[in-house]
Structure 1
Amino acid sequence: METRPVVRQATTVSELTAAEHLFDGPVRPDWAERFLAAPGHVILVAYVGGEPAGMVSGIEMCHPDKGTEMCLYELSVDEAFRRRGIGRALTQALAEVARERGCYDMWVGVERDNDAALATYRSARGRDDGDFAMLTWTFE
């Protein structure tokens, strides 16, 4: 089976629903449309043999004294395609999009015990920037 991915930017809701198995939950068409329409939002899908094998999403953030950076929001590779370089290819493709858009850097938050994610990001030339705490607010 061919495992060299073809990475393309998703531009339609139907592309995202076809890759729904790569997300944490069902793709809601209204949310997908809002994501795709928002400036600075990007989802790249990796295809192997014409089927969605992985995805990465990124969100540009701009601050008045820092400029624009890319947040790697989520990376997912179908279990059948893991450990074949697809996560690295997606990460590198998102970094290239960030460079093309003029971002000064790209970052991702990863739990310290997520060995697979850390290995993927390091293999794509990401470097550890030290420890940080992440606090969240839940609005229900």
Structure 2
Amino acid sequence: MGNSTDPRPESTRATRIRRATTVAELTAAEHLFDGPARPEWAERFLAAPGHLMLVAYVDGAPAGMVSGIEMHHPDKGTEMCLYELSVAEAYRRRGVGRALTQALASYARELGCYDMWVGVDLDNDAALATYRSARAADDGEFAMLTWTFG
């Protein structure tokens, strides 16, 4: 069924997921971030080894994004941290978040990662449902402690 911005049925829309490789791609998707993209930070993100962002496009417009960070440890190897997932309001509950999560997992497998993980607030039902629908297993409750600098 369509929505008010696109009367076509969901099945006829073209959704593509691709890795962002330019500052222009990141700034075009800034409505998916918590705040505006800063070009100098976007450049730093793109230049950092092991940092990646996949963007889902529906009919050419950024509809969602997922960022991942490769983490290396001498006794474990490499794992992927799903750092952030965001889907524009108009595209939620249509499988975009699941597709982005699965695309990141596929990318992690190609890189030789032994697993992928994400931290989720226990009251974030939408995120939990998305990750579970993408076949994530629940490792139980944990505490997250944060240091804030400046």
TM-score between both structures, scaled by the size of structure 2: 0.91
Task: Give the SS at the match of 2:113.
Answer: coil
Q: Which stretches of structure 1, 4 residues or more, deviate above 4 A after TM superposition? A: none
Aligned to 1:64: 74
Aligned to 1:77: 87
Task: Give the counterpart letter for 1:73 in structure 2.
Answer: Y
Let me know the Cα RMSD of the aligned residues: 0.8
- Asked if the contact 1:3/1:81 (under 8 Å) is kept, the reply is no
Confirm or deny that 1:122 pairs with 2:139: no
Q: Within 2, Cα distance between the matches of 1:4 and 1:124?
A: 20
Structure number with higher relative contact order (C-alpha < 8 Å, ≥ 6 residues apart): 1
Deviation per CA, 1:6-36, whole angstroms, max 9, x where unpaired?
A: 0000000000100110000010111110111
Aligned to 1:23: 33
Instruction: Name which of 101, 105, 130 aligns with 2:111.
Output: 101
TM-score between both structures, scaled by the size of structure 1: 0.98
Task: Give the counterpart letter for 2:104 in structure 1.
Answer: L
Confirm or deny that 1:46 pairs with 2:56: yes
Listed as ranges, the gaps of 5+ residues in structure 1 are none
- Asked if the contact 1:3/1:84 (under 8 Å) is kept, the reply is no
Task: Give the SS at the match of 1:129.
Answer: coil
- Asked if the contact 1:4/1:48 (under 8 Å) is kept, the reply is yes
Instruction: Name which of 41, 55, 62 aligns with 2:65.
Output: 55
Listed as ranges, the gaps of 5+ residues in structure 2 are 1-7
The alignment-based identity, stated in percent, is 80
- Asked if the contact 1:13/1:33 (under 8 Å) is kept, the reply is yes
Q: Within 2, Cα distance between the matches of 1:108 and 1:3?
A: 29
User: Per-residue deviation at 1:5?
Assistant: 1.9
Aligned to 2:142: 132
Is the radius of gyration larger for structure 1 or structure 2? 2
Aligned to 1:37: 47
